[in-house]
Amino acid sequence: MTQTVVLATRNQHKVEELRRILSAVDLDVELVGIDAFPDLPEVAETGSSFAANALLKARDVAQRTSLTAIADDSGLSVDALNGMPGIFSARWAGRHGDDQANLELLLAQMVDVPDGRRSAAFHCAAAVVTAGGDERVVEGVLEGQIIREPRGRNGFGYDPIFTPHGYALTTAELRPEEKDAISHRGQAFRALVPVVAELITDR
């Protein structure tokens, strides 16, 4: 019997990414975003870590929908900025989700940082919470560096200014399947798949 699982986001990039990963395994799940539930309120990300924020969102959606819910919180940590923007990545320029403004502000803050000190890492925590209250969190990390000019149109967020270690291309220049294979979110979502399978099988 197909079970509906809710990914606690209105970001279709994330929904499509997790759908691609789920489609590669034999798991009878229908994944929907919270657009399928127009009355759901936004959950305030008041946690002090990626894991805490992911759990806040997953718990709220699981409680309100009575379905298994998945949520992630992710962001970019830049060494030259003492690990920032971190959990504030999506609202670094002041308004949540303004990718272009966030990217431009970050580049401006790093304009005097030499190439050898532009190391950074994408972090992702993904949480799954069942309607019965079982919950798990997994994490993924992708290390790399910040370049000086945006390149590529395949990604979103800070993808156009981030090159993973060992790659000349930015994560916005990689094909979706290439990015899925190495990305912080891809790592976390793949680690979450067997956890989801275990939890929904136990129900």
Give the active site residues: 73
Is residue 39 classed as helix, strand or coil in its secondary structure?
coil
- The whole-angstrom separation of Cα 198 and Cα 139 is 18
Query: By the 8 A CB rule, do 34 and 9 touch?
Result: yes
Cross-strand partners of 76: 122
Alpha carbon 192 to its chain's center = 13
- The whole-angstrom separation of Cα 76 and Cα 66 is 32
